[in-house]
Structure 1
Amino acid sequence: MSTLNPSTHFELPAGPNFPGRIFKSPQLRSLNLNPRPNLSPRMRSVTRVPLRIASRLVQRPAFVRPIHSTVVKAANVAPVVGTGPPPEPPIQPAENVHQRVARRRKQAEMLKNAKELRNASSGKGGGGLKKRFWKDVSVKEVDGALQVFLDTRPLRHPVSKEIVRIPITKPDLASALALEWDLLTSAQDATRHHLIPLTSLTCRALDIAAADNTPGGEISEVRDTIATTLLRYLDTDSILCWNPPAGAHDLKNEAGESLRDVQKRTAEEIVSFLTTHVWPGITINPVLDGHSILPQSQAPGVREIVQGWITGLDAFEIAGLERATLAGKSLIAAARFVVEWTEGSVARGHLNPGKKFGVEEAAVATSLEVDWQTGQWGEVEDTHDVNKEDVRRQLGSVALLVSGTGLKV
């Protein structure tokens, strides 16, 4: 058998896999096959197998099927962003208190007008409660007591429907009640207790007086319940809870005092007056002095003396004490405030040679820690400022309730 020349042309037989072509390629040269004329019939069949494999490797084009139809795009590892420093944060325009109050009143008026328009368009409304049925409000003396009249109708208790009769020695309270009802715009407003807070407080005092006149024990159930509730504040009194001693980095005021120093000085002034003129002979200690977690109880006998003093107050005084305690979270400050302004037998305001313990003094004394923190970190609008004014409003209503011209000393 002769040797195959590498440069020899080979012709593949025509068929379904080989269409009868002549190749000259390096792959076929490496097979070292003999030319077709020199191959015997037996060798032809043997040679066709590698030739078929070779033709498939050489002649068939390679098809690539992509797995997606989107255009190939290189990743952008450095996106284009704005250059330069970030913009300044928005600054709220400064406005004084009067502008803020005027803005809120305008918003409230707009909301009220929108509500009235919606009710009118939907056919809703207060019916007979939509408009106030009185034009003038006046105060008259009837049978030795003061009464508030809505035109010719006397003001009545919202629950018992009894006529509200105010002692003749409290003309300021009667005038304040008349003003409160004169500011109402509809009879429906009279059913909202937050719009008539002074009326609610006065009716509370009248309820206590009615309970006192009910046949029964020496101390009515209402008084006993009030005394029990108020004594709970003695164990967590805001005047008697002091901050821990100041550290090296704690804030101090212009006088060089820490929060604890201010709390201690304020509490000592109030407690000293009470233990001298109101509850003589007892000692009131701080319930939290900064060194403990749980409040400490007062010495034995202190709670009994304070409870006896509370139950001995008249109806207007105990109602005022309850309101002042709930407003300032302090029974000590409330007791000091009531004895300063009351006209009853427990009045001790004339014994104070210095400045009177008024609404502002009581509000500041019961809000020392809040004022200290807001002075350092700022106020939350519609939260701290609203609570600040609400405490003063409630203490002012207590002063009107207990004060009068018939001072008993």
Structure 2
Amino acid sequence: MNVSLITSKFRTCFRCTRSVRLSAKVESAQPATKKLKRFYKEVSIQKTDLNNSASKNDDMYHHFNVFLDKRCLKTPGGKQLNVQNESLAMSIANEWLSQKEFIAPTSMHFTSLINTCIDNPLQLKTADIVSHLVERLESDTIMSLEIENGELMQVQLSSLRPIFTWVNQQWGSNLHPSRELIVSVSETCKQRCTDYLNKFSFDTLIGLKFASDSLKSVLLTVAAFEQQIDCESAVKLSVLEEDFQIAKWGNVEWAHDMSRLDTLSRFSSAILFATFSSEVHNVFK
């Protein structure tokens, strides 16, 4: 399947895909330390049956491969890049298709994430990722209020209230932003977060980890993943203090804009990756 019109087949949030396309312009402008010239002309996707005796209608017996010309894409570890979801395969293929004269690996977040899942260079287990995310709750960027600036604190409280209200309703928890320097999260809240995360596959958790690391916020990541807020709003909520200071003192446009779009690119890609990885496999029509 040729992927020249790949974006039109995405089955996901328009705002997320728009964020990825918009921020890709910034990625392509960043210099590379070592340039690799594009060595292929066409990008395509093929569906592979894992078991010839399996039902043709059973998606659990299919995976998708991305081909550069006639060569199947492999991970840095030399493993064949098998993708369980059609939309994710198209996202990866689109990254390779959009490369110009030289390949820019830093702009290929979907490819990097699937490589991490398949090669697993740190030998992580599902429990390791869940533990990492739960531990990050206490250092979540939206858990601490700026108590020395009353005006900013009111902005934080009003902007973040819907996020905490929704999270507490979903988890049956009692999380709230803290006025203390050291934030403490109860064991009950940690357990509720653990129970929520344990529902997901290894690949989905890798996406959620990458997203939360991009914003330094597990709570905003979960809200975006569950489509309670869009990716652009999540990024804005993660930098409320920065935007407050910019409104007061002014903005260095090129510097802040580049940084913001880079964060948006990474976060949006990770949320889409987690979403695709959590879906039941899609098959070609």
Answer yes or no: same fold by TM over 0.5. yes
**Are residue 132 (structure 1) and residue 38 (structure 2) matched?**
yes
Partner of 2:246: 374
Secondary structure (helix, strand or coil) at the match of 1:140 reads strand
Partner of 1:395: 267
8 Å CA contact retained: 1:136, 1:151: yes
Partner of 1:182: 97
| Matches of 2:124 and 2:203, distance apart in 1 | 16
**Are residue 151 (structure 1) and residue 54 (structure 2) matched?**
no
| Matches of 2:43 and 2:124, distance apart in 1 | 35
Cα offset for 1:232? 3.3
8 Å CA contact retained: 1:242, 1:263: yes
Secondary structure (helix, strand or coil) at the match of 1:357 reads coil
**Are residue 165 (structure 1) and residue 56 (structure 2) matched?**
no
Cα offset for 1:105? 10
8 Å CA contact retained: 2:75, 2:115: yes
**RMSD value, Cα:** 3.4
Inter-CA distance 241–407: structure 2 relative to 1 (3 Å threshold): farther
Secondary structure (helix, strand or coil) at the match of 1:297 reads coil
Partner of 2:153: 260
**Are residue 231 (structure 1) and residue 134 (structure 2) matched?**
yes
8 Å CA contact retained: 1:379, 1:385: no
Q: 1:297 aligns with which of 184, 187, 196?
A: 184
| Matches of 1:361 and 1:195, distance apart in 2 | 22
Percent identity between the two aligned chains: 24
Counterpart residue identity of residue 176, structure 2: N
Secondary structure (helix, strand or coil) at the match of 2:226 reads helix
Cα offset for 1:206? 3.4
Unaligned residue ranges in structure 1 (runs of 5+): 1-100, 116-125, 212-219, 248-257, 341-355
Partner of 2:8: none
TM-score normalised to structure 2 length: 0.73
Alignment of 1:59-98 (within 5 A): none
Inter-CA distance 132–360: structure 2 relative to 1 (3 Å threshold): closer
8 Å CA contact retained: 2:231, 2:264: yes
8 Å CA contact retained: 2:126, 2:201: no
Cα offset for 1:382? 4.5
**Are residue 142 (structure 1) and residue 48 (structure 2) matched?**
yes
8 Å CA contact retained: 1:139, 1:149: yes
Cα offset for 1:406? 4.4
| Matches of 1:132 and 1:392, distance apart in 2 | 26
Alignment of 1:9-408 (within 5 A): 131-143=37-49, 144-159=62-77, 161-168=78-85, 170-171=86-87, 173-185=88-100, 189=103, 193-207=105-119, 221-244=124-147, 246=149, 258-277=151-170, 279-280=171-172, 282-287=173-178, 289=179, 292=180, 294-340=181-227, 356-404=228-276, 406=279
8 Å CA contact retained: 1:155, 1:163: yes
| Matches of 1:407 and 1:272, distance apart in 2 | 29
Cα offset for 1:230? 2.2
Secondary structure (helix, strand or coil) at the match of 1:302 reads helix
Q: Deviations over 1:245-277 (max 9, x none)?
A: 655xxxxxxxxxx32122112322112112212
Cα offset for 1:155? 0.9
Inter-CA distance 331–406: structure 2 relative to 1 (3 Å threshold): closer
Counterpart residue identity of residue 262, structure 1: V
Counterpart residue identity of residue 138, structure 1: S
Inter-CA distance 195–145: structure 2 relative to 1 (3 Å threshold): same
8 Å CA contact retained: 1:147, 1:154: yes
TM-score normalised to structure 1 length: 0.53
| Structure possessing the higher relative contact order (Cα contacts under 8 Å, 6 or more residues apart) | 2
Matched positions, count: 244
| Matches of 2:248 and 2:67, distance apart in 1 | 49
Cα offset for 1:377? 1.4
Partner of 1:348: none
Q: Deviations over 1:329-381 (max 9, x none)?
A: 111111112223xxxxxxxxxxxxxxx51111111111111111112212235
Unaligned residue ranges in structure 2 (runs of 5+): 1-22, 50-61
Secondary structure (helix, strand or coil) at the match of 1:198 reads helix
Secondary structure (helix, strand or coil) at the match of 2:67 reads strand
Inter-CA distance 246–310: structure 2 relative to 1 (3 Å threshold): same
Secondary structure (helix, strand or coil) at the match of 1:138 reads strand
8 Å CA contact retained: 1:317, 1:338: no
Counterpart residue identity of residue 198, structure 1: F
